[in-house]
Amino acid sequence: MDLIYSRPHTHVIRSTAVPESAANPTKYIERGWCWFESAVTAFKPPAQVLSDDSDQERPSLRIPAAPLRFGETLDTKKFTNGKADAEGVKALYKNLFHRSIHKLRVFADGSWASSREARGQMDPQAALQLAALVEYIVADPPLAARLQPQVLDLRGSPFNDAANFVAFLSPKESSELTLSLERLLCAFGKLGSITAVSFEALDVSRRGDDDSKKVYVEGLQRGLAGLFPAEGPCPLDANLRLLASAGMTEVIDRLIRESKTVNVDVRDEERGETALMLASCKGHTDIVRLLVDAKANVDMQDKNGMTALILASENGHTDIVRLLVDAKANVDMEDKNSKKTALLWASENGHTDIVRLLVDAKANVDMQDIFGKTALMCASLDGHTDIVRLLVDAKANVDMQDTYTGKTALLWASDKGHTDIVQLLVDAKANVDMQDSYGSTALIWASENGQPDIVRLLVDAKANVDMQDQSGKTALIFASENGHTDIVRLLSVAPAFS
């Protein structure tokens, strides 16, 4: 049997059906010797073993049982001569297991799977079985010396992030997956041979339960620390992105110090991300410092044109922005999709301290995104008063128009009802009568949307109350149509009506 199953190119078709008329009606899987054969099949690639079992639609993942586990299960099976053969079968399996240790490498490098789809079978339950198997091997040093894989490849498995995930895992799912992943990583780490692991951590920025995310991140960190222990071999730089994403400062520090050929700018082939980008996005300041000190390229862009500085600015990581600015990162680089700079992202998202840092670093305050919006427009639109004040003080052009709607910062602030920002822009001598692509003025927008305080500010600033939009309507007409009595009263007594 060992000879049959050990041949690398031999396909085996197993007959497991027991006829109802058989003298011994015991089911195949309940028989001791048959269980032995089933256990032996786990040492052969799934695609090379077929059976007449109608429930088996496709080759499935089979993790070999450790001898102790095999023996426990065998004790529940039946032999035609009672239990006389049980001990002999256990000895046979243990001998086979020890002679076949080298075959278990396929479960580390992923080559057991014939397709990407098949890799999905390495689920939490299978991972726990594999972890238990590796732990058994680790407990026997001579055995462990014969299983020294250098790569652990979990791509395609449920542990690898998939773009089709809409939301993060539920608390139960997160707990199950994290427990198995942590145990699996730690088990392989005890072999003392792994230098590279291949999978992408789950994206915790997706919507979902915060406790689930915390459980996952902490478990991932413990697992990676166990996979790459201080006394183990130096990890390869291929791990940098995963380690940076997970916040593994100590492991990265060791990798940079011990590796003579480390490439800190190694990219993800699909998205073009570097470790510096991921650390900057996730807010891992100490890792960013390590990578900058290691001369990482601070201006590299991913496939979407995002730089480390843009990602840190977008996500509000002030200390990281300071590090990157001090490292002479280009503050005016644009991403490819929205054409936003770091300043535009920070202004849109309300990160005042970052805007101050970028302004002090001489970022161009008038650069426009794909829709023609400037940082001042973005801040005015979203109501970030302190940022508007910073940009006005930095001499941002208050009358620039976006290319999509033709609105200026004043028009956006008036439309959205941000009174304090309108006051700032009026004080900065913004043109109160500029019209957008539809002919609307700041006064028309404020009157239509029921913003009496803004209407009062604009009237006091000598806004032309008689200007018409493309449909011929004035601010008074819009206020009247929408029932804004107080605004109608303000406009009716404005200078143009006296």
Residue 444 lies in a domain: no
**pLDDT at residue 296 tops 90:** yes
pLDDT in tens, 441-482: 999 999 999 999 999 999 999 999 999 999 999 999 999 999
* The predicted structure's pLDDT at residue 19: 74
Q: Which of 54-63, 110-119, 217-226 has the highest mean pLDDT?
A: 217-226
Could you tell me if 128 and 60 lie in one domain? no
Could you tell me if 132 and 184 lie in one domain? yes
**pLDDT at residue 397 tops 70:** yes
Could you tell me if 17 and 41 lie in one domain? yes
Could you tell me if 50 and 22 lie in one domain? yes
Could you tell me if 109 and 222 lie in one domain? yes
Residue 139 lies in a domain: yes
Q: What is the dihedral of CA 368, 371, 375, 381, to 10 degrees?
A: 160
* The predicted structure's pLDDT at residue 498: 37
Could you tell me if 225 and 107 lie in one domain? yes
Amino acid at 245: S
Nearest Cα residue to 225 out of 212, 200, 242:
242
Residue 51 or residue 78, greater confidence: 78
Residue 155 lies in a domain: yes
Q: Tell me which of 145-149, 165-169, 222-226, 493-497 is least confident.
A: 493-497
Could you tell me if 194 and 211 lie in one domain? yes
- Strand pairing report for 49-51 and 151-153: unpaired
Residue 31 lies in a domain: yes
* The predicted structure's pLDDT at residue 143: 95
* The predicted structure's pLDDT at residue 46: 67
Could you tell me if 215 and 130 lie in one domain? yes
Please list the alpha-helical segments (H only) found in 247-337.
Answer: 249-258, 275-282, 285-293, 308-315, 318-326
Could you tell me if 127 and 93 lie in one domain? no
What is the CA angle 221-215-131, rounded to 5?
60
**pLDDT at residue 125 tops 80:** yes
Could you tell me if 212 and 169 lie in one domain? yes
The span from the CA of 216 to the CA of 171, in Å, is: 9
Could you tell me if 166 and 186 lie in one domain? yes
Percentage of the chain beyond pLDDT 70 is 93
pLDDT in tens, 134-187: 999 999 999 999 999 999 999 999 999 875 567 899 999 999 999 999 999 999
* The predicted structure's pLDDT at residue 3: 63
Nearest Cα residue to 18 out of 45, 50, 53:
53
Residue 243 lies in a domain: no
Q: What is the value of pTM for the model shown?
A: 0.89
For 228, the token pair is 């790459």
Report the Cα 135 to chain-centroid distance in Å.
Answer: 30
Residue 90 lies in a domain: yes
Residue 69 or residue 116, greater confidence: 69
> Of 214, 233, 252, which residue sits at a domain end?
233
Amino acid at 237: D
* The predicted structure's pLDDT at residue 344: 98
pLDDT in tens, 199-219: 999 999 889 999 999 999 999
The span from the CA of 464 to the CA of 440, in Å, is: 12
* The predicted structure's pLDDT at residue 116: 79
Range of the domain at 165: 103-233
Q: Which residue has the tokens 């590279």?
A: 196
Total domains in the chain come to 2
289 pLDDT band (50/70/90 cuts)?
very high
Residue 77 lies in a domain: yes
- Mean pLDDT score, 240-247: 97
Q: Tell me which of 40-54, 268-282, 294-308 is least confident.
A: 40-54
The span from the CA of 245 to the CA of 57, in Å, is: 38
> Of 192, 215, 233, which residue sits at a domain end?
233
Q: What is the mean pLDDT of the chain?
A: 92
* The predicted structure's pLDDT at residue 18: 72
Could you tell me if 95 and 108 lie in one domain? no
Residue 103 or residue 350, greater confidence: 350
Q: At a CB cut-off of 8 Å and minimum separation 6, what does 148 contact?
A: 191, 192, 193
Residue 242 lies in a domain: no
> Of 201, 233, 265, which residue sits at a domain end?
233
Report the Cα 215 to chain-centroid distance in Å.
Answer: 15
Other Cβ atoms within 10 Å of 267 Cβ, number: 16
**pLDDT at residue 408 tops 50:** yes
497 pLDDT band (50/70/90 cuts)?
very low
